Structure 1
Amino acid sequence: MSQPLTKKLIDSVERALTRFYIFPDKAALMGKQLQTKFKQGRYDTITNPNKLAAQLGQDLQSVYADGHMFVRYDPDFAKELTEIDPNRRRIEDSLALIDAVDENFGLNKVEILDGNIGYVPVYSFTSFTERARPSFVSALRFLSQTRALIIDMRYNGGGSPDMVSQLGSYFFSARTPFTTIENRVRDSTFVYWADPAKADGLYLSMPVYILTSHSTFSAAEDFSYSMQQAKRALIVGDTTGGGAHPARPFQLGQGFLINLPFAQSINPYSKTNWEGIGVLPNIPTQSGGALEKAQELILTTAMKQTSSDIQKRKLQWAVHELKARQQQFVVAASALAKFSGNYDGLLVYVKNSKLWCKNTGRGNEITSLNPIMQDWFTLNEQVHFQFIKGPDDKTSGLKMHWRDGRETPVDKIGN
């Protein structure tokens, strides 16, 4: 590009920064940096517009590292931003709604896990808040009798702040400030509230655990951070991506655009946000194991709080089932033989270095026994086996631990 055109572009970048960037002091330094580099001839030999855009972006980042800010050369997209076509906008909105409905507004599963723990992954925060409300209230109402709720944000890359406050509204009994967004473009401040009036008569008072990962970003971080700072949820997982500043492209002319953060989220409790830092988990753990970690925390806490023996057994069963699914324990093949025998029609034997059970009362149904610990094994989704030692240190029987808290002792025949 010629020097006059490059100078015109840099002046345009400086104007956009001064007018729209959320940090005026940084904007002034960035503009000064580009003007200085131009006078030094930094851009004189760059003829490729894409390389010029990349270089301008690097020079801006050298003043202040902002992951949302970049310069790009895209004449086609710049033209689309200039052309205002109401019909095209309506078509695009209709297509976006079709996509949102296909994805059920970010909800595709709701589940009650062992131990009466609610689990719901939320994959996005749709902009079609009112259309999404029936799906969300139905999902959460289904989980309303659980002892605790796990909301999975590990794969949520963001979306609408309106939907963030909508989801938050189900967890507060009184109108509560959630997030304030300060907008330089509009020179305005807007407060998003968690409001029971928007919750369709549903109030969820159980403990809440939110799962996060490095991929949790933007609006998903907003929800996680707002719930955490309001002391309404504990965060389990990895530190999130660190994007608290809404950004959009601004035209620079000549086919160039700059993506600029034009607003920032401010939490009413911390008076700050998670930009560049991420939401820090209360219980740090690798995101891949965050669900199991949250389940374990909920179950062990519940066991400490209950005075009912049968409830403790049910909760302990759920803990053991969780461990079995994680395959945390391995029993050496040489140690399995001592469990072999006939336990009143339950024939336990070793084959291919694994323990198996043939149930003669159920048509010789064969099931593998998977270890939970040294002498505990899963039989199926309802029963665990605990092998019992006699006075001679040999296996004398087993105890069947049922999912509903029952225990059934079974003697070993011919011991």
Structure 2
Amino acid sequence: MICSRRLLPALLLAAGTAVLPALAPPPVFAADEATAPTADQVAEAYAALLARDYVYPETGERYATAIRAGIAAGRYAPLTGEALARAIDADVNAVAPDGHLRLRAPDGAAAPVGPALVRRPPKVPVEQAGWIAPGIAFIRFNLFPDDAAVTTEAATFMADHADAKAIIFDVRTHNGGGLDQMDVIFPWLFGEPTRLVTMATRASVDARGGSPIDGLPSMRVVKGDAGMVTREHWATPNADTRLRDAKIYVLTSGASASAAEHFSLAMKHSGRGVLVGDPTAGANHFGSGEDLGGGYGAFIPVGRTYDPATSQDWEGSGVLPDIAVPPAQALERALTELGVAPEEAKRLSDERMPSWPMERRRPRK
């Protein structure tokens, strides 16, 4: 998912697993009990945003109609917190599922239901970067944040491992973000300017400056569908040629969402990398986080990313791996493909097993 920098912490509404939030900290908006909106006001704010900005206008209107029907029926009025979020989510997804549509309840509002949720420390963007075997570099990205320090870390990793014969990018626990880190990785990997993916933003959103990808140097505006502003994401080579022929493997899972799927599709579409693992999460649409008041937040999808060769995106289905194996075995398989002995590949894989879930997020019940 590519997200507006206005409310970047909201960009992972689609990407969580059974453990929430997928990105820490989640969007937190001050909730003053004296001025907090009612449940119906929160629902109406969400309906209005979906009708105005959702990537597919007709679907956005249908979402709004469903929410407003819930308001009229009095379904939301007695609800608060997570119960309200669940009720609105159910009505929205009954219209058309979208991997990014998930209403965020105020921080701390979730009521215990069943077994207690596991409390985990915040995800760090980058883990275990370095040499994993002779000539083979490894790096795990858990997200692509709007953070200059992380972009510098990604750029430094590429420069420090420019003599690698192979690089393994682990995005099995990567839940989304933006383009900044991708745009310092891709120039090392291509020998000529290469079109990676196509991104189309609802024209009305783009016209008022609401596109999260407008103005990025790696984007080129092209002719596209009516009602959309279409841009192509391009990789422009840098002057260092050492990694041009390096083998690239990308480890994927059902938790690899949004911007991780963008990265995966770019590698697959261009033929530059080999995907190993499970199909990705199927959360395609990019957009921005919005404050609905009272501590509630929502991610509003305003565009889609797709394969320029087929015009197909990955919403619902995910990006398919080139080598399908259980995610827990993906690193082991990539290493054996690179000639590492099976026993050693297993040992190295076990040492670098992700601590975060590698399954698709389960729907709210």
Return the TM-score normalized by structure 2: 0.64
1:262 paired with 2:278, answer no
Report the Cα offset of residue 322 of structure 1.
Answer: 3.8
Matches of 2:103 and 2:342, distance apart in 1: 54
The 1:268–1:71 alpha-carbon spacing in structure 2 relative to 1, beyond 3 Å, is same
Corresponding residue number in structure 2 for 1:379: none
Report the Cα offset of residue 186 of structure 1.
Answer: 2.3
Corresponding residue number in structure 2 for 1:272: 312
Corresponding residue number in structure 1 for 2:56: 23
Higher relative contact order (CA 8 A, sep 6+): 2
Corresponding residue number in structure 1 for 2:362: none
1:194 paired with 2:235, answer yes
Corresponding residue number in structure 2 for 1:288: 328
Tell me, which stretches of 5 or more residues in structure 2 are unaligned? Answer: 1-36, 110-121, 208-228, 349-365
Specify the code of the residue in structure 2 equivalent to 1:186.
Answer: D
Deviations 1:342-373 (A, max 9, x none): xxxxxxxxxxxxxxxxxxxxxxxxxxxxxxxx
Corresponding residue number in structure 1 for 2:71: 38
Higher helix share: 1
Corresponding residue number in structure 2 for 1:138: 159
Deviations 1:310-333 (A, max 9, x none): xxxxxxxx536547859xxxxxxx
The 1:217–1:323 alpha-carbon spacing in structure 2 relative to 1, beyond 3 Å, is closer
Corresponding residue number in structure 2 for 1:359: none
Among 46, 49, 52, the alignment partner of 1:13 is 46
Matches of 2:38 and 2:89, distance apart in 1: 17
The 1:57–1:130 alpha-carbon spacing in structure 2 relative to 1, beyond 3 Å, is closer
Among 187, 191, 208, the alignment partner of 1:169 is 187
Report the Cα offset of residue 282 of structure 1.
Answer: 1.0
Q: Comparing 49-58 with 224-233, which one deviates more in the overlay? A: 49-58
Q: Comparing 276-285 with 121-130, which one deviates more in the overlay? A: 121-130
Tell me, which stretches of 5 or more residues in structure 1 are unaligned? Answer: 78-98, 300-317, 327-415
Kindly report which structure 2 residues correspond to 1:233-382, keeping only aligned pairs within 5 A, or say none: 233-253=273-293, 256-299=296-339, 318-319=340-341, 322=344
SS at 2:161's partner residue?
A: helix
Kindly report which structure 2 residues correspond to 1:101-116, keeping only aligned pairs within 5 A, or say none: 106=126, 108-111=128-131, 113=133, 116=134
Q: Is the 8 A contact 2:89 2:102 kept in 1?
A: yes
Q: Is the 8 A contact 2:151 2:184 kept in 1?
A: no
SS at 1:166's partner residue?
A: helix
Among 183, 186, 193, the alignment partner of 2:201 is 183
Q: Comparing 227-236 with 130-139, which one deviates more in the overlay? A: 130-139
RMSD over aligned CA atoms reads 3.4
SS at 1:224's partner residue?
A: helix
Q: Comparing 248-257 with 267-276, which one deviates more in the overlay? A: 248-257
Matches of 1:231 and 1:247, distance apart in 2: 27
Matches of 2:55 and 2:265, distance apart in 1: 20
The 1:256–1:122 alpha-carbon spacing in structure 2 relative to 1, beyond 3 Å, is closer
Matches of 1:287 and 1:47, distance apart in 2: 38
Structure number with bigger Rg: 1
Specify the code of the residue in structure 2 equivalent to 1:20.
Answer: D
Higher strand share: 1
Corresponding residue number in structure 2 for 1:217: 257
Deviations 1:125-182 (A, max 9, x none): 3432763364133233141xx2x43332223333321322321221111111123333
Q: Is the 8 A contact 1:180 1:267 kept in 2?
A: yes
Q: Is the 8 A contact 2:151 2:180 kept in 1?
A: no
Specify the code of the residue in structure 1 equivalent to 2:156.
Answer: S
Report the Cα offset of residue 47 of structure 1.
Answer: 5.1
Q: Alignment length, in residue pairs?
A: 274
Corresponding residue number in structure 1 for 2:144: 125
The 1:289–1:220 alpha-carbon spacing in structure 2 relative to 1, beyond 3 Å, is same
SS at 2:233's partner residue?
A: strand
The 1:107–1:135 alpha-carbon spacing in structure 2 relative to 1, beyond 3 Å, is farther
Q: Comparing 4-13 with 216-225, which one deviates more in the overlay? A: 4-13
Corresponding residue number in structure 2 for 1:80: none
Return the TM-score normalized by structure 1: 0.57
